[in-house]
Structure 1
Amino acid sequence: MVKKNSNYRREAKSLKYVVEEPLELLTFLLNVMSNRSRNSVKSILARGQVTIDDHIETKYNYMLRPGQTVTILKNKAAIKQDVLIGMSIIHEDDDIIVINKEAGLLSIATEKEKNQTALHQLMDYVKKENPENRVFVVHRLDKDTSGVMMFAKSEQVKRKMQDNWKEIVKERTYVALVEGKVTKEKGYISSWLRESKTHLMYSSQTPNDGLHAITHYQLIQANEEFSLLEVQLETGRKNQIRVHMQDLGHPVVGDKKYGSKQHKAIGRLGLHAKVLSFNHPTTNELLLFQTDVPQSFLAKSS
């Protein structure tokens, strides 16, 4: 196996600004980019070239708070040629690519968005080396969840990973910023999850009423308003952590779909995939990838 750039990251020229007063994002950008037209600034926003602290932001009316850092990728040509927007590659070899995805970036295409996704960008990236190269989705992270995500570079590797997921994957650890003060140091939630016609996941205590899901959690830190939990998945069901945190009575911050009242507290969903550890599909080597807990999670729960 040939390793390539295990700490590879493509960087574009970017501008960073620290917010000094409450202001809507578009107004702020028009002030700091006074040489650009309103339409030009709107385009930069729409393309996902603006990040706030640890997430991509595209809403014109997003309310900035003092102390936040706004980063703007400023070179439009670089976007097309050299830059991975909303993600960075933390490991690549002949079989897999592991990325750190920012909140706000889709894993795969939807009806509304085809190009600004992790999969599409990685497909473009590998084709630069060889037009025949491809990338395949092994698992997904929700758009508003950040953290470690893996892709396969062949159909064979993808199938091997998916068919043997429980045996190959050794650890999946998340951190969740949740509402309220969690008083229990550690625990777990067990229920059966099923999906409604409107794609909402429901949790049931009736055995076999859906797919069995088990989530373990441990308290990292808390104050009266927010708690930071380390969460480990024993099973990997759709929206599992989000539903189980609602079951716990402490919904994930920013998760209106599953009971959050504090949906503007950090400007994003309070969920981050911190650790992914698995046996390499070809070499069987045990690999572990870890990303930093977003600063906004730590600040809110301290």
Structure 2
Amino acid sequence: MKIKLSLLNDVEDLYEDFLVHLGLSKSQYKKSGMKKGLSIRGKKEIELPCTLLRNGEVNPVYSGPAIEVLSQNDDFLALSKPAGIHGHPQSFAETDTVLNFVRSIGKANDFGGAEGGLLYRLDQETSGVLVLAKREATYNELRDNFHALAKEKIYLAAVRGKFEDLGEKTHFLKSSGEKGSIQKEDETGIEARLSVIKSWYDENSGNSLLQIVLETGVRHQIRAQLSFMGYPIIGDSLYGGLEEDRLFLHALKYAFDWEGKRIVFYDGSPLLFDKFFDLNSCL
């Protein structure tokens, strides 16, 4: 889709004399398919891609899978994020992220930058509870003091084999690959800690369901640490897991200390986990 603009003044260079004032970077301009240095001298009208002119905005159209609103109050909106979608878009052209859904239901924020009030991130492949702040003061307080105020971060992960090594695990992770796409174990890396607090083994499938407390917050942390322990998550081919319909990693519970109370957000219905486990008996 393109938008037609009328030019009231003479413009020599489309990028240097016009679009740069909209806050567009050279890479964003290049990705739009338009050539830098394009002369529009003498023209009274030009047509530009809608995505270029609406840079930094979230499209109000949502085209992804259904998202359930788990709970909300004056400060928080808790959603059940499906596996396979991103939290926020990279451009206005995207319509299948969590923030697209939030804007489509009239709950969009004008603070928090690109993350639009999201208090933490979940990988595209990970499902589960995802919490947004609805007020700027709430967002700033929690983001600035996240490690102190986030009291519980509990995940479910399914792995192949009988897992019995409960307890706290520490690894040092360092981003590797194109654009840091994968974590490697490296003693010079960032310390990553988690605790495996429960394990249920299903003899029929030969898989274990793990309940994990995330103690730090490093990208791909649970995926990488379980892989280094010899138990990659089912569906996580990036870290050596068996191919499956989805990555079997789910954010089960987040809890925050807020205004003198413990606020708990819970998503106990991870899609497809019942393929291997009776969740009613496990949870």
TM-score by length of 1: 0.63
CA positional deviation for 1:279: 1.8
| Aligned: 1:157 with 2:138 | yes
- Aligned counterpart, 2:57: none
Report SS of the residue matched to 1:189. Answer: strand
Q: How many aligned positions are there?
A: 213
1:194-273 → structure 2 map (5 Å cutoff): 194-198=174-178, 199-204=180-185, 206=187, 209-217=188-196, 218-223=198-203, 225-260=206-241, 262-264=242-244, 267-273=245-251
- Kindly report the root-mean-square deviation, in angstroms, between the aligned alpha carbons of the 2 structures: 2.8
SS in 2 for 1:149: strand
* Alignment counterpart, residue 268 of structure 2, candidates 267, 292, 295: 292
Q: For residue 230 of structure 1, what is the amino acid of its counterpart?
A: Q
For residue 275 of structure 1, the aligned residue among 253, 269, 275 is: 253
Correspondence list, 1:47-196, <5 A? 85-110=65-90, 114-126=94-106, 135-184=116-165, 186-196=166-176
Report the alpha carbon displacement of residue 93 of structure 1 after superposing the two structures with TM: 1.8
Cα distance in 2 for partners of 1:225, 1:107 equals 32
SS of aligned partner of 2:87? coil
**Contact residue 63 and residue 95 of structure 2 kept, 8 A:** no
Q: Which residue of 2 aligns with 1:70?
A: none
Task: Give distance in 2, aligned partners of 1:82 and 1:297.
Answer: 26
In the TM superposition, what whole-angstrom CA distance separates every residue of 1:33-87 from its partner, at most 9, and x where no partner exists?
xxxxxxxxxxxxxxxxxxxxxxxxxxxxxxxxxxxxxxxxxxxxxxx89998431
SS of 2:228's equivalent? helix
Between the aligned partners of 1:301 and 1:132, the Cα distance in structure 2 is 41
- Asked if the contact 1:176/1:272 (under 8 Å) is kept, the reply is yes
Q: Is the 8 A contact 1:228 1:298 kept in 2?
A: no
Find the residue that maps to 1:137 and give its secondary structure.
coil
Is the 1:174–1:275 contact (alpha carbons within 8 Å) kept by the matching residues of 2?
yes
Question: Which ranges of structure 2 fall in alignment gaps of 5 or more residues?
Answer: 1-59, 279-283
Deviation of 1:192 after TM superposition, in Å, equals 1.1
| One-letter code aligned to 1:273 | A
Q: Write the letter of the residue equivalent to 1:294.
A: P
Do the aligned residues in 2 keep the contact of 1:101 with 1:147 (CA within 8 Å)? yes
Q: 1:169 to 1:112 in 2, by over 3 A?
A: same
Q: Rg bigger for which structure? A: 2
* SS of residue matched to 1:126: coil
The AA in structure 2 aligned to 1:242 is R
Tell me how far apart the structure 2 counterparts of residues 116 and 86 of structure 1 sit (CA, whole Å).
10
Shift of 1:108: 1.1
Q: After superposing the two structures, state which structure 1 stretch, 142-151 or 153-162, moved more.
A: 153-162
Q: 2:106 is paired with a residue of what secondary structure?
A: helix
In 2 relative to 1, CA 258–84 (structure 1 residues): closer, same or farther, beyond 3 Å?
A: closer
